[in-house]
Amino acid sequence: MSQQLRSRATRAVAVSALTLTAVVGATCPANAASPEDHPIEVTFNAAGIQAPESHQGGLVSFRIATDDAAGRQLQLLRPHAGVTIDKVLHDLADSFSVTGGTAAAGIRAVRGEAEALGGAMVTSAVHEQFTEEVAPGAVYLLDLTAFQADPAHPVMKRLDLVGTSGQSANQARFDDGMVIERDEAAGPRFQTEDMDHAHLAYLVHNESAELHELQLRPVAPGTTEEDLRIYYAGIAAGRQPKSPFTGPATGLGVLSPDHSASIQAHGLQPGSYALICTVPDERLGFMHAVLGMHRIVTLQ
Ligand SMILES: [Cu+2]
């Protein structure tokens, strides 16, 4: 594993130790509580989204759940100042186009118009909790599954983050490993460190110039990177190759460049999984997985 990742891990440990000292020494017990203990509860299904209308900003934790056995995806978006959510949704709809140029232009526009603050892919068996710093202001919770099926009728809820807890990312629980979304000469890639247990928390950081998600899809034991490469080459060629996936995706939604979130799955079974990103590339409009953004991990 790279020196760069090692030094990040070492720094994270050092910062956590310092923060622990600060929290123990603090006089206000309310601030000492981890935001993971008081998450913003979001449930959603074909009938809509249930979520609070407001919550404290700063270091916030979201717990996302559904009773939809087929799985659903929720995305958090915050338009930049002067951009309407309708404009962002219009361009997001373009990003799902089967025409490469339209998809590429759509996703480029979305990256420039809004902050993508993650979200979650969940099933009736697996819910996800993710934690990140979000400054006060409005955030939109979008049912991305419903949106892909019918972009003309977005299912969405606005959440107002009011004030700030004063907590920083260093006060989140310790992460057990990391996933870095990064640009390499050959294309966008996942780099993992210590991602080996289904139930632990992982820090996901997007250090690439584009938007990325982290889908975790189960594959049959023995599935190789080469199997995935052949599968996605078939997709890119317009064929319908046999899917290597044995179940629906779970994982973390789309993050903007230079953003991080800590994610923990609940109910995920041990086994072999493919990390994949289906966000379209900004030049060609192919999903990043087609460009090689896939990685097999085995979780205990
Ligand atoms: Cu990607």
User: What's the N-to-C CA distance of the chain in angstroms?
Assistant: 20
Distance 11 CA to ligand 1 centre (A): 26
Q: Where are the beta strands (DSSP E) in the chain?
A: 40-45, 48-50, 54-65, 72-79, 114-122, 127-134, 137-143, 156-164, 177-184, 187-193, 201-206, 212-218, 250-255, 260-266, 271-276, 294-299
Residue 136 has pLDDT above 50, yes or no: yes
Looking at residue 43, its pLDDT comes to 98
Distance 267 CA to ligand 1 centre (A): 25
Q: What is the pLDDT of residues 91-106, one digit of tens each?
A: 999 999 999 999 999 9
Distance 57 CA to ligand 1 centre (A): 27
Distance 31 CA to ligand 1 centre (A): 35
Distance 206 CA to ligand 1 centre (A): 9
Indicate the residue type of 43.
T
10: DSSP letter? H
Given a contact cutoff of 8 angstroms between Cβ atoms, the answer to whether 145 and 120 are in contact is no
Distance 217 CA to ligand 1 centre (A): 15
Categorize the per-residue pLDDT at 26 as very low, low, confident or very high, splitting at 50, 70 and 90.
very low
Q: What is the pLDDT of residues 210-261, one digit of tens each?
A: 999 999 999 999 999 999 999 999 999 989 999 999 999 999 999 999 999 9
Q: pTM for this one?
A: 0.88
Given a contact cutoff of 8 angstroms between Cβ atoms, the answer to whether 16 and 170 are in contact is yes
Categorize the per-residue pLDDT at 168 as very low, low, confident or very high, splitting at 50, 70 and 90.
low
Q: Which long-range contacts (CB under 8 A, 24 or more apart) does 10-15 make?
A: 12/174, 12/175, 12/203, 15/170
Given a contact cutoff of 8 angstroms between Cβ atoms, the answer to whether 202 and 195 are in contact is yes
Q: Which residues, other chains included, contact 83 with Cβ-Cβ below 8 Å and sequence gap of 6+? A: 113, 114
* CA-based max dimension of the chain: 62
Mean pLDDT of 59-79: 97
The residues placing their C-beta within 5 Å of ligand 1, an ion, are 212, 277, 279, 288
Looking at residue 54, its pLDDT comes to 97
Mean pLDDT of 63-73: 96
Distance 37 CA to ligand 1 centre (A): 30
Distance 165 CA to ligand 1 centre (A): 31
Which of 259, 226, 74, 235 shows the shortest CA–CA distance to 155? 74
Which structure tokens are listed for 177?
């490993």
Looking at residue 172, its pLDDT comes to 65
Distance 256 CA to ligand 1 centre (A): 10
Q: How far apart are CA 181 and CA 210, in angstroms?
A: 9
- Within the chain, residue ranges assigned H as helices are 3-25, 29-32, 85-95, 100-113, 144-149, 225-236
Residue 55 has pLDDT above 90, yes or no: yes
Mean of all residue pLDDT scores within the chain = 89
CA distances from 163 to 82, 167, 219, 289 (A): 21, 11, 43, 39
Distance 83 CA to ligand 1 centre (A): 23
Q: What is the pLDDT of residues 169-222, one digit of tens each?
A: 666 677 889 999 999 999 999 999 999 999 999 999 999 999 999 999 999 999
Residue 14 has pLDDT above 50, yes or no: no
Mean pLDDT of 16-33: 41
What length does the chain have?
A: 300
Distance 293 CA to ligand 1 centre (A): 7
Distance 212 CA to ligand 1 centre (A): 4
Distance 10 CA to ligand 1 centre (A): 26
Looking at residue 190, its pLDDT comes to 98
Residue 273 has pLDDT above 70, yes or no: yes
Distance 207 CA to ligand 1 centre (A): 11
Distance 210 CA to ligand 1 centre (A): 7
Residue 281 has pLDDT above 70, yes or no: yes
Which of 94, 76, 106, 66 shows the shortest CA–CA distance to 266? 66
Given a contact cutoff of 8 angstroms between Cβ atoms, the answer to whether 117 and 256 are in contact is yes
